[in-house]
Structure 1
Amino acid sequence: MKYLELLDTIKTNVFTFADLVKYFNGEDDGFLKTQLHRFIKKRLVFQIKRGIYCFDPKKIDQFELASYLYQPSYISLESALHYYGMIPDIPQTVTSISPVTTKKIRTQFGNYFYTKIKQDLFYGYESVASSSFSKHYQIAKKEKALLDFIYIRKIKSLDDLRLDLDGIDKKTIGRYIKNYPGNIVRLFL
């Protein structure tokens, strides 16, 4: 595997070692690791985390990277609310939801926080093309991001929040809220 061959084969900025094994299936894993290490030393490839790499750190899509770092997960909470223009604050950490476990991952490219949610609340997200347009990440729909935020952050009243609720579909809230506890349901009555 030569560098130009790698560039030509991997069409995304962020990739995993598993991607290399898949695309270069005739090559020995040890050889692939050696070549990758050489590319890293020459600063042609950058290691994000063990097994996850990128070609250009300046072109990293934070949401795409969040989906690579921990699966299954979807972007939600403050990150999704900001994405939809519902909160004015810019989150310093990419916040996601996962049915597996709560986890914080720090990389040289940013901080990522994954909050555990019950499996029966792990829904209401969609696939969105990343800024590189070659990969997709999962992000909560705006109504689900709002419900996740209220549930996870234990919000008692919507009045105190600086939320722009324009564009929230009440029918969608009604469909999503069925699995949430009664205290969340009462906020929308």
Structure 2
Amino acid sequence: MNSSQKNTLLLLFESPKTVFTMAGIALLTGESREGVLSKRLNYYVREGKLQNPRRGIYAKKGYNPEELACLLYTPSYLSLEYVLQKAGVVFQYDSCLTCAGYLSRTVEADGKEYRYRKVKGEILADTSGIDNKGLINIATPERAFLDTMYLNAEYYFDNLRPLDYRKIMALLPIYGNKRMEARVKKMFDK
């Protein structure tokens, strides 16, 4: 391994990120020749120093799947069933990571399923109720609840107690949907 290869690997491991795109690695390392960079990264994958969960995506061992979910399709944020399950609003276990984004698609990477649901651009652009935890964008339980109501009017929620009604009402105008507002008020009997 020559010194430029060592530098590339060192730069990747010094970065707080655990998942990288080819373009991101090129910016990080300053390597403008795509063929050279591709060969180098594929060498690291063969040697077991990096993982390649999906074409064009490289990751450190033990990478964060939530970070990968936010990187596969940008802009997107973790939401829907994934967040509701973690918050205790939905009890049915699903290992799939669900995101709201600019397209609807299901992707498998490294044995995990990533499901993206399309929301309107105005909703996606509004960051109210979305926490930026370093390299991960994740909806609050209230935002995930509203995203789910927006995409599936008939969705059944097991437990609404973890949700803050005031936060829900503050986020509701993002969706601009009177029927949805009426359904939410009816669910909370207010």
Name the structure 1 match of 2:188. none
Name the structure 1 match of 2:184. 188
Secondary structure, aligned partner of 1:188:
helix
CA distance in 1, matches of 2:121, 2:166: 22
CA distance in 1, matches of 2:157, 2:51: 40
Relative to structure 1, the CA distance from residue 32 to residue 188 in structure 2 (aligned partners, 3 Å threshold; closer, same or farther) is closer
- 1:48 touches 1:108 (CA, 8 Å); kept in 2? yes
Give the CA deviation at 1:18.
Answer: 1.4
CA distance in 2, matches of 1:31, 1:82: 43
Give the CA deviation at 1:27.
Answer: 5.6
- Equivalent residue for 2:172, pick from 170, 177, 181: 177
CA distance in 1, matches of 2:56, 2:65: 17
Give the CA deviation at 1:60.
Answer: 2.5
Structure 2 residue 77 is the aligned partner of structure 1 residue 74:
yes
Give the CA deviation at 1:50.
Answer: 1.8
Name the structure 2 match of 1:133. none
What is the count of residue pairs matched by the alignment? Answer: 175
Deviations 1:162-188 (A, max 9, x none): 12x234222221122123422221123
Give the CA deviation at 1:26.
Answer: 4.8
Name the structure 1 match of 2:148. 149
Which structure 1 residue ranges, 5 or more long, are not aligned?
130-135
Deviations 1:19-50 (A, max 9, x none): 22112215632221111121222222221112
Q: Aligned letter for 2:180?
A: I
- 1:121 touches 1:180 (CA, 8 Å); kept in 2? no
Structure 2 residue 24 is the aligned partner of structure 1 residue 25:
no
CA distance in 2, matches of 1:52, 1:173: 36
Displaced runs of 4+ in structure 1, greater than 4 A?
Answer: none
Name the structure 2 match of 1:132. none
CA distance in 2, matches of 1:72, 1:32: 25
Which structure 2 residue ranges, 5 or more long, are not aligned?
186-190
Give the CA deviation at 1:127.
Answer: 0.4
- 2:31 touches 2:37 (CA, 8 Å); kept in 1? no
